[in-house]
């Protein structure tokens, strides 16, 4: 392990816990954003707004607010990625995993693959936002100034 900054051990339970926690952050945050936008616009709330791909259309006000909720959720989840994962190298993996699990839930909810191009585009954009902002936050933390005392030790 000489020459490495961190000592890493393959710990599948930690990775599973991180994925589960980040997935919970994703859905709780998305639910809060959707609730906020629905209360402000007077729309009714439904789980269809999260899982049904037909809802994610930019042609109506409800669809535009839902797209805004997804984008705001990506920014919130990047904070979760920074706090939970704390590694720049793993941000892409976790961002893709969160959206892949979301795709699996959407497949189950809709009993089929989402066919709306807007759903795919929004989720790819949100994955990119989540990855880039998460990497930015993790990189800032990893590259913080490390104080190195150059003075000779006096307590030898």
Q: What is the 3-state secondary structure (H, E, C) of 68-132?
A: HHHHHHHHHHHHHHHHHCCCHHHHHHHHHHHHHHHHHHHHHHHCCCCCCHHHHHHHHHHHHHHHH
pLDDT in tens, 4-32: 545 567 788 888 999 999 999 999 999 99
The Cα angle at residue 8 between residues 96 and 132, in degrees rounded to 5: 30
- Residue listed under structure tokens 């797209």: 67
Assess contact for 131 and 95: CB atoms under 8 A: yes
Query: What distances in angstroms separate CA 140 from CA 25, 30, 77, 130, 134, one per listed residue?
Result: 22, 25, 17, 15, 10
Is the predicted pLDDT of residue 1 greater than 50, yes or no?
A: no
> What spatial distance separates the first Cα and last Cα of the chain, rounded to whole Å?
28
Section 69-87 average pLDDT: 92
Section 52-56 average pLDDT: 85
pLDDT in tens, 118-129: 899 999 999 999
Assess contact for 118 and 57: CB atoms under 8 A: yes
Section 133-148 average pLDDT: 82
Q: pTM value?
A: 0.82
Nearest to 6 by CA among 150, 144, 142, 138: 142
- Residue listed under structure tokens 């997804």: 70
Is the predicted pLDDT of residue 3 greater than 60, yes or no?
A: no
Is the predicted pLDDT of residue 34 greater than 80, yes or no?
A: yes
């Amino acid at each position: 392990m000489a020459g490495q900054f961190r000592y890493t051990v393959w710990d599948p339970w930690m990775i599973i816990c991180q994925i589960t926690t980040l997935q919970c952050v994703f859905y709780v945050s998305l639910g809060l954003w959707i609730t906020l936008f629905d209360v402000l616009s007077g729309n009714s709330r439904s789980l269809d707004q999260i899982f049904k791909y037909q809802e994610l259309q930019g042609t109506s006000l409800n669809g535009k607010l839902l797209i805004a909720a997804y984008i705001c959720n990506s920014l919130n989840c990047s904070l979760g990625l920074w706090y939970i994962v704390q590694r720049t190298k793993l941000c892409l993996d976790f961002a893709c995993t969160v959206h892949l699990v979301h795709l699996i839930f959407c497949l189950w909810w809709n009993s089929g693959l989402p066919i709306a191009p807007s759903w795919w585009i929004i989720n790819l954009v949100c994955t990119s936002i989540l990855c880039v902002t998460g990497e930015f936050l993790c990189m800032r933390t990893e590259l913080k100034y490390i104080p190195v005392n150059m003075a000779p030790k006096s307590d030898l």
